[in-house]
């Protein structure tokens, strides 16, 4: 199958979205954990490093999944590759 410019554009946008979300995941997972002791301020009455380790990272992971699903649905509809309603 020969790839058209529309296929390449769709794939490029998909890769860009994935890379941005993976970069956010990397920062939340590894960078925040590595610098946790330096994040020394209160966030809703708890130390920020404790909050990110206990709950904040999980919330951000859920947001990443939600953003990916929403953006991919919009891209799929834009390029005519969506699978229909849920």
In a domain? residue 47: yes
In a domain? residue 34: yes
Instruction: Calculate the alpha carbon distances from 11 to 25, 30, 34, 67, 83 in Å.
Output: 21, 28, 33, 17, 17
Report the number of distinct structural domains present in the chain. Answer: 1
> Residue 42 pairs with which residues in a beta bridge?
47
Strands (E), the chain: 42-43, 46-47
* Nearest residue to 79 via CA among 13, 2, 15, 20: 13
Residue range of the domain that includes 24 = 10-79
In a domain? residue 5: no
In a domain? residue 31: yes
Residue 82, phi-psi category: left (phi > 0), alpha (psi -120 to 50), beta (remainder): beta
In a domain? residue 75: yes
- The DSSP secondary structure of 48-70, one letter per residue, reads HHHHIIIIIHHHHHHHHHHHHHH
pTM summary value: 0.77
In a domain? residue 43: yes
If pLDDT is split at 50, 70 and 90, which confidence band does 85 have? low
Query: For the segment 12-59, what is each residue's pLDDT rounded down to a tens digit?
Result: 999 999 999 999 999 988 887 777 777 777 777 877 777 777 677 888
In a domain? residue 3: no
In a domain? residue 86: no
């Amino acid at each position: 199958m020969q790839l058209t410019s529309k296929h390449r554009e769709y794939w490029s946008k998909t890769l860009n979205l994935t890379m941005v979300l993976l970069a956010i995941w990397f920062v939340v997972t590894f960078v925040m954990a590595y610098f946790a002791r330096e994040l020394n301020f209160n966030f809703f009455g708890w130390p920020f490093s404790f909050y990110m380790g206990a709950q904040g990272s999980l919330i951000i992971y859920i947001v990443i999944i939600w953003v990916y699903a929403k953006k991919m649905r919009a891209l799929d509809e834009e390029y005519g590759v969506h699978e229909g309603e849920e």
